[in-house]
Amino acid sequence: MFAQRRALGRYGDPPAVFNMTAPLPHRGRGRGPALSGLFLLFATLLFPSVAEAGTRVLAFGDSLTAGFGLLPDQAFPVRLQARLKASGTVVEMTNAGVSGDTSAGGLARLDWALAEHPDVVLVELGANDALRGIDPKQTYANLDKILARVKASGAKVLLLGMLAPPNWGRDYEKEFDAIYPALARKYDVPLYPFFLDGVATLPDLNQEDGIHPNKQGVEIIVGRVAPYVQRLLGGKGAQG
């Protein structure tokens, strides 16, 4: 895992890429019990994802969540939603990834992101902090506030961790890498230790920049993260 740090170098993310995958709710008023029943049946047949989904999942992160350099249907949240559905867990997934976001940027837009009252929030932030050499104490403080607000909202949390690149020195690595386990313990939330595990440093699984996963890399990440989400949801296919 630690050898994968070499794939992480300084970079400036491009402008925001923001994809929303949550289905739009249908609207309408029945004019009586019979019409209402017909309308619901019609909606169920045409929009099964809306009718079946009961859990709202917010994927809250940076370009790794947003799907920078990928087609919209190749982004991590979209593929994760498909993987969960294939295993019998139907959710409404919202992609709230913004390219270039640091932990401070995520904190600044968190209240807006929580306005839809998600049931589960996947927090994937901190990669840009490490790449820019931001003081780990500041990253910790920002993520601390993010987790506190999400927990206060009543949503469940999965913390998606990150590792520091090697160019800032061993002391920086040690302090940064300790952020995610410490916060997971503090808030008693599950932690996926390294979001890019199994993908970083592997050219065949990354785009030309060597940092952002390609569609094959995303599938690897999804396959590893999905069991954590299933356990959190208590859904079918969850592993112990």
Query: Cα(94)–Cα(56) distance, rounded to whole angstroms?
Result: 8
pLDDT of res. 6:
43
pLDDT of res. 21:
40
Q: What is the mean pLDDT of residues 138-151?
A: 98
Q: What is the mean pLDDT of residues 54-81?
A: 97
72-82 pLDDT, tens digit per residue, is: 999 999 999 99
Predicted TM-score of the model (pTM): 0.78
pLDDT of res. 63:
98
Distance in angstroms between the alpha carbons of the first and the last residue of the chain: 22
Q: Give long-range contacts, CB 8 A cutoff, 24+ apart: 164-173.
A: 164/5, 164/8, 164/130, 164/136, 165/5, 165/6, 165/8, 165/9, 165/10, 165/130, 165/131, 166/5, 166/6, 167/9, 167/10, 168/130, 168/133, 172/133, 172/136, 173/5
pLDDT of res. 56:
98
Known catalytic membership, residue 99: no
| Residue with the larger pLDDT of the pair 53 and 62 | 62
Q: What is the mean pLDDT of residues 130-152?
A: 98
Q: Choosing from 13, 62, 101, 212, which is the catalytic residue?
A: 212
Task: Tell me: pLDDT of 184 over 50.
Answer: yes
Task: Tell me: pLDDT of 223 over 80.
Answer: yes
**Number of residues that this document lists for the chain:** 240
pLDDT of res. 234:
87
Task: Tell me: pLDDT of 17 over 90.
Answer: no
| Residue with the larger pLDDT of the pair 26 and 102 | 102
Q: Choosing from 73, 111, 135, 209, which is the catalytic residue?
A: 209
Task: Tell me: pLDDT of 221 over 80.
Answer: yes
Task: Tell me: pLDDT of 68 over 80.
Answer: yes
Task: Tell me: pLDDT of 168 over 50.
Answer: yes
Q: What is the mean pLDDT of residues 20-49?
A: 40
C-beta separation of 60 from 123 below 8 A: yes
pLDDT of res. 43:
39
Q: What is the mean pLDDT of residues 81-98?
A: 96
Task: Tell me: pLDDT of 232 over 90.
Answer: yes
Residue 31's CB is within 10 A of a number of other CB atoms, namely: 9
Query: Cα(82)–Cα(218) distance, rounded to whole angstroms?
Result: 12
Known catalytic membership, residue 117: no
Q: How many angstroms from the chain centroid is the CA of residue 146?
A: 14
Q: Choosing from 63, 99, 129, 177, which is the catalytic residue?
A: 63
pLDDT of res. 215:
98
**Domains defined for the chain, CATH in brackets:** 17-233 (3.40.50.1110)
Q: Where is average pLDDT lowest: 77-81, 163-167, 221-225? A: 163-167
Output the six-digit token pair for 180.
Answer: 């995610």
Q: What is the mean pLDDT of residues 56-85?
A: 98
109-123 pLDDT, tens digit per residue, is: 999 999 999 999 999
Known catalytic membership, residue 103: no
pLDDT of res. 15:
37
